[in-house]
Every structure is written in C-alpha cells, then in structure tokens.
Structure 1
Amino acid sequence: MYTLYFLPGACSLATHVMARELGLPIELVDKRGVADFSRINPVGTVPVLVNGDRVLREGAAAMIHLLEAADSPLLPRSGPARDAAIDAIMFANATVHPAYGRLFFLAKSMAAGPAKAQAMAAAADAVSVLWATVNTRLGEHIFLGGSEPTAADVMLTVYARWNAQFPVTIELGEAVKRMTAAVMARPSFQAGLAEEQARAVA
C-alpha cells in the first residue's frame, strides 16, 4: 500500500491518478492534517509518495517509481522508447510545472496594479509557448504516447486545470484541449478528484 501526501488540486493529483490508472493501492493523506509535515518533506511540498521505507518527494520520481512498480508498458525497460517516456515526464515536471510556479508566485507576491498585470501577462505568454510545443508533439494523436494516456499526459492535464486560477489568457491548442478532455473524462481522474475532496482537511 502506497501513502500519498497531497493538497487538493495540486500536482499531487497526477500521482494519485496515475496510481489508479496502474491499479496500485494508494492511501491519501492531506498534508494540512499532518502536525509536522516538515519531518516528511523539509521543503513542505507535495507530492510525497511513501512505499515502506522508501520516500519520494518529487513528482517525476514518484511517477517513474509507480510505472516501474507496475511494470507498465508506458515506461519501457530500455531503449529509445524509455528515453522518450522519461523525457516527456521531465518536460512536464521540470519545464511546464515551474512556468506555472512563476504565475503562482506573481499572483501571491505582487501588489495589484499595472506592474503585476504586465508581469502576469508575460508569464502567461511563456506558458502558452510551452503549450504550443505540446500541441505540436501531440499532432493527430489523442495522447503523447498514442492511444493510451501516459504519465506526462496526466501531469500536463493537472497543470492545465490551473489556468482558471489566473486572470490572464493562457492559450491551449486544439490537440492539447482534446488530450486534457480525454484524460479528465477517464474514471481514474474522476475518482481521483472525488477522493481528494473526501480526504481533504477542512
């Protein structure tokens, strides 16, 4: 049984959804209900995935761990296909996620006014450029891996849901809209959202 420390709507949702996609048992713990979460993760972020005495504190590491634990074909054991799968996971985790992080930082730290609006618009434009890259990679495929959702598809879909939190325009291409809609329609995603709501600390 895995334990996943999460925050509702945060990137930890992707870890939870992927565990469900892979049929792996997982228990959710809202980090806000943990008395001293810094003992689990000194930097205070989620996801944190615990499997026995193994603790993974980065989303990409957690995804790769789950895929390997399930011996999933979505992460081949070797060769160019494995490289491509890891590259897509890292693009989501290390490129797209930090770009949204800048938006969250600006929204929280800057006082309202023209300077904030300009900074937010510039950050949103940078995110839109990344989504254009994803749109090109998808092409006519529903998912980055073809007909089945990959870990990167799930991660990117969680990030795309954050767009509604910002008063700026972030452009998603038609292929990206198709992919995110398909991921969000999957039973694993719907069940993941429902369980987060049920487990959330008020």
Structure 2
Amino acid sequence: MYTLYYSPRACSLAIQVVLRELGQNFELVDKKDVADFSAINPVGNIPVLVDETKIMTEGVAILLYLLHKHSSPMLPVDPQGYQSAVQDMLFANATMHPAYSKLFFIAQNVNDEQVKQDMLHAASARINQLWQVVESRLAQNAFLGGEQPSVADILLCVYSHWGSFFAVDIVIGKHTRAMLSRIEAMDSFQRAIAAEQPHSSAAL
C-alpha cells in the first residue's frame, strides 16, 4: 500500500486523484502531523509518495511512476502520444504551477500594500495568459488529451482553485471552465477532496 504525504488543496491532491483513478489503496498523512518532515523529504515539499521502502518526491516524477507501474491509458505508449501527455503534464506542473506560486510568494513576503497589489496584478496577468493557451487548446476537445481526462487536466483543476486566495482577477475561458467542471465532477476528485477534510478517515 502507498503512503501519500499531503497538504490540503495543494498539488498533492492531484496525486491522490490519480491513485484513486488507478484503483490503488493508500494512506493519507497530513504533512503538519509529521514531527520531522525533513527526515522524509529534506527539501520540505509535498507531495511525497512512499511505495514500500521507496520514497518519491516531485509531482510529475511520482505521476509518471504511477502511470508506468499500473499501465494507465492516461500515459500513452506510442511515442507521439507519450510526448504530448508528458508535455502537457510539464506545462501544468512547470509553467502554470510556478505562475500561481508567485502569488503566494508575493503575499507572504511583500509588506508594502501598494507594491504587493501591483506585483499580484502582474503575476495574475501572466496566469491569465497561460489560461488563454489552455482555452485555445480546448476549443475542439473536451480535455487537453482529447475526449478523456488527462493528468494535466487534473493538475490544472487543482491549481485553478488557488487564485481565490488572492484579490486578483483570474480569467478562465468557457471551454476551460467546462473542462474543469468535468474534472471536479469525477468521483475520484470528489472523494479526494472529502478525504482531505478534518476528521475524515485517512486509510483509503
């Protein structure tokens, strides 16, 4: 059984959704409940996934491991399909995620309110540019990979909620909103959200 170390509504949520899509048993452990998390991951970040004695970090590396190990159709085997799926995952994790991370950094580290608002506005403008890229991709397809949900869609759905923590205008187009609604309606996503609530059962 896997053990997933997480923080509520963080990027670790996508790992949990994928574990559920793969039908895998796992235990959820909130990072804040670990006395010395640095002993598990010296960098201090989540997600961390443990498979027996193997400790894995970095979201995309974990996702690729799971998709390969369990032969998921969310990771195509043909070279072109594989490249496209990984490219979309990295767009989400290495481009969209850092764009949102800037909002958190600015809010936590800039004290001057006017400077903070100007920086948040600039950061949100970049996020809106990225959502426009997603919107153009979804003009003809329900999901980034076609007609079936992809890992990139799940990652983007998790990130899409982060803008609500800040006084910024995040503009998400109608095709993208429809895709995000489809992901949110998935049983695996609903159960993952519920499992992160206080007092929920952590053994799943």
TM-score by length of 1: 0.95
Q: Distance in 2 between matches of 1:199 and 1:144?
A: 33
Residue 172 of structure 2 corresponds to 172
CA contact (8 A) 1:24 1:70 kept: no
Residue 161 of structure 1 corresponds to 161
Task: Give structure 1 stretches of 5+ with no counterpart.
Answer: none
Deviation at 1:180, TM superposition (A): 0.6
* CA displacement, residues 72-115 of structure 1 (integer Å, 9 cap, x when unaligned): 11112241000000111111111110111111100111115211
Letter in 1 for 2:116: K
Letter in 2 for 1:170: I
Deviation at 1:199, TM superposition (A): 5.6
Indicate the RMSD between aligned Cα atoms, in angstroms.
1.2
5 Å-filtered alignment, 1:63-102, equals 63-102=63-102
89-98 or 76-85, larger mean C-alpha shift: 76-85
Letter in 2 for 1:32: K
SS of 2:81 mapped into structure 1 = helix
Letter in 1 for 2:65: H
Give the total of aligned pairs: 200
8-17 or 19-28, larger mean C-alpha shift: 19-28
Letter in 1 for 2:131: W
Q: Distance in 2 between matches of 1:19 and 1:138?
A: 25
Deviation at 1:53, TM superposition (A): 2.2
Deviation at 1:52, TM superposition (A): 1.5
5 Å-filtered alignment, 1:105-116, equals 105-116=105-116
Residue 32 of structure 2 corresponds to 32
Q: Distance in 1 between matches of 2:50 and 2:138?
A: 32
SS of 1:28 mapped into structure 2 = strand
Residue 142 of structure 2 corresponds to 142
Q: Distance in 2 between matches of 1:184 and 1:141?
A: 17
Letter in 2 for 1:15: I
SS of 1:134 mapped into structure 2 = helix
Q: Distance in 2 between matches of 1:78 and 1:50?
A: 28
TM-score by length of 2: 0.94
103-112 or 187-196, larger mean C-alpha shift: 103-112
Residue 15 of structure 2 corresponds to 15
7-16 or 139-148, larger mean C-alpha shift: 139-148
The answer on 1:48 being equivalent to 2:48 is yes
Residue 2 of structure 1 corresponds to 2
* CA displacement, residues 109-136 of structure 1 (integer Å, 9 cap, x when unaligned): 1115211111000000001101111111
Q: Distance in 2 between matches of 1:136 and 1:49?
A: 34
The answer on 1:188 being equivalent to 2:188 is yes
Q: Distance in 2 between matches of 1:182 and 1:121?
A: 29
Q: Distance in 1 between matches of 2:31 and 2:146?
A: 35
* CA displacement, residues 138-157 of structure 1 (integer Å, 9 cap, x when unaligned): 22311112222111000000
SS of 1:94 mapped into structure 2 = helix
